[in-house]
Amino acid sequence: MNSDRDQSAIHFEGNLSPEQRSAILVFADRILRGRGRFAKSTGSRLEVTEVSLYEREEDKKTQMRMVFEVDVNEDMLNSGDTAYSRVRTVVLRPRTHRSCSFITLYALGIATDRKMRLVSQALTTVFHAPAKTGAKLRIVNTTVAFGARTVTARTEIWDATNRRLVASGVNSQMQPSVAKL
């Protein structure tokens, strides 16, 4: 998903300009494949497959949905040969510099021309089923709230190969307060 990647390989929906589409993909690429070594082997294999900007029916607020995919490899497994903790850490954990939920929140900021600087507020995760080597994971991220002080995204990690939910979580971030010295 480098900046030269053919955008036609990604399903875009909603009113996103070509510049916004490119900015979202460049940002995702920088987060997933950029500096730092933490979880880089997993993060660098994540691919964006869908970017959707839409108006939520219930309150008419603009929201974002992004879908990522990755195959479960040996380096993602724990001692029980399942991809629990690595998946949670990479996909859900805020500000690991590989978080799909953070990328989705930031993408909504790009789409709505809102500059953001965020820090972690809360993270809730639930594990539902293990994922084994060779399974294709589909990581569905949807923004829930995008206020002036707090933003929230919900993530579902699906084992697309075996058609079951692996994990889900909610990631809340907030604007940092100004330091008082």
16 in a domain, yes or no? yes
Output the domain CATH number for residue 111: 3.10.129.10
Q: What is the DSSP letter of 173?
A: E
Q: Let me know how many helices (H) and strands (E) the chain has, helices first.
A: 4, 7
Is residue 179 assigned to a domain? no
pTM of the model: 0.84
Q: Does the residue 58 lie in any domain?
A: yes
Examine residue 127 and state whether it is found in any structural domain, yes or no: yes
pLDDT tens per residue, range 107-149: 999 999 998 888 888 888 888 988 888 889 999 999 999 998 8
123 within some domain: yes
In a domain, 1, yes or no: no
Which residues span the domain enclosing 24?
Answer: 7-174
Confidence of residue 96 (pLDDT cuts 50, 70, 90): very low
Is residue 38 domain-resident?
yes
Strand partners, 50: 11, 67
Q: Has residue 180 been placed in a domain?
A: no
Question: Which carries the bigger pLDDT value, residue 105 or residue 76?
Answer: 105
Structure confidence at residue 121 (pLDDT): 86
> How many structural domains comprise the chain?
1
Instruction: Determine the Cα–Cα distance for residues 134 and 132; give it in Å rounded to an integer.
Output: 6
How is 86-141 classified by DSSP, letter by letter?
A: HHIIIIISTTSS--HHHHHHHHHHHHTT-----EEEEEEEEE-S---TTPEEEEEE
